A and B are shown apart, each in its own frame.
Chain A
Amino acid sequence: MNTQLSPRLGTEDPRTPDLGLPAGRDALPGFAARHRRRLLRADALTVAAWGSLAASVALWLADGGTAGVSTVASGVTALGIVAGLAGMDLVLLMLLLAARIPLIDGAVGHDRALEFHRKLGKPSLYLLLAHGILIAVGYGMAEGLDPVSEAVALWALVPDMWLAFVSLALFIAVVVTSLVAVRRRFPYEFWYVVHLLTYAAVLTSLPHQFSVGGLFAEGTWQRWCWTAICAATGAALLYYRVIQPAVATFRHQLTVERVTAEARGVISVEMSGLQLQSLEGSGGRFFIWRFLAPGLWWHPHPFSLSAEPMALGNDGRGLLRITVRDLGQGTAQLAALRPGTKVAIEGPYGLFSSAARSRDRIVMIGAGIGITPLRALLERTPLAPGQATVLLRGHSGQELYLGDEVLELCRRRGATLFHLVGHGIQSLPTAGFPRPGTWRATP
Chain B
Amino acid sequence: MRPRAAVSAALASAGILLAGWQSGVHVADTRSAVAAASTGNSSGSSSGLGTSGSAGTTGSSGAAGTGAAGAAAKAGGTYDGDIVQTRFGIVQVRITVKAGDITDVTALKLTDHEGRSVQISNYAAPILRSEVLQAQSADVRTVGGATVTSDAYLTSLQAALDAANL
Contacts and interface: CB of A to CB of B under 8 A. Distances in A.
Interface string B43-75: 000000000000000000000000000000000
A344 B13 CA distance: 42
A214 B17 contact: no
B4 A142 contact: no
Contacts of A216: 145
B146 interface: yes
B21 A66 contact: yes
Interface residues of B, dominant DSSP: helix
B21 A58 contact: yes
Interface string A32-46: 000000010011001
Contacts of B20: 54-55, 57-62
A218 B143 contact: yes
Interface in A206-250: 210-214, 216-220, 223
Contacts of A331: none
Contacts of B14: 54
A219 B120 CA distance: 10
Contact of B115 (A47, A67, A160): A67
B129 interface: no
Nearest to A153: B87
Given A64-B27, A67-B32, A143 B123 contact: no
Contacts of B9: 46-47, 49-51
B16 A63 contact: no
5 contacts: A46-B9, A47-B12, A64-B31, A212-B148, A219-B123
Contacts of B32: 67
Contacts of B8: 43, 46-47
Nearest to A55: B16
Nearest to A139: B87
Contacts of A437: none
Interface of A: 39, 42-43, 46-47, 49-51, 53-55, 57-68, 70, 74, 139, 142-143, 158-160, 210-214, 216-220, 223
Nearest to B115: A68
A185 to B, nearest CB: 33
B25 A64 contact: yes
Contacts of A42: 5
A214 B24 contact: no
Contacts of B98: none
Contacts of A143: 87
A62 B117 CA distance: 16
Contacts of B117: 214
A59 B23 CA distance: 10
- Across the A-B interface, give the 3 residue pairs with the lowest CB-CB distance, nearest first: A217-B145, A58-B20, A67-B28
Contacts of A51: 9, 12-13, 16
Given A50-B13, A67-B28, A68-B116, A217 B19 contact: no
A159 B13 contact: no
A248 to B, nearest CB: 32
Contacts of A74: 114
Given A64-B115, A211-B142, A218-B144, 20 more contacts: A43-B5, A47-B12, A50-B9, A54-B12, A54-B14, A61-B17, A63-B27, A64-B28, A64-B116, A67-B25, A67-B27, A67-B32, A67-B115, A68-B114, A142-B87, A142-B113, A210-B145, A212-B147, A213-B145, A217-B145
B145 A63 contact: no
A62 B120 contact: no
B13 A211 contact: no
A64 to B, nearest CB: 3
A210 B16 contact: no
Contacts of B28: 64, 66-68
Contacts of B6: 46
A211 B123 contact: no
A57 B147 contact: no
Given A50-B12, A217-B145, A217-B146, A65 B24 contact: yes
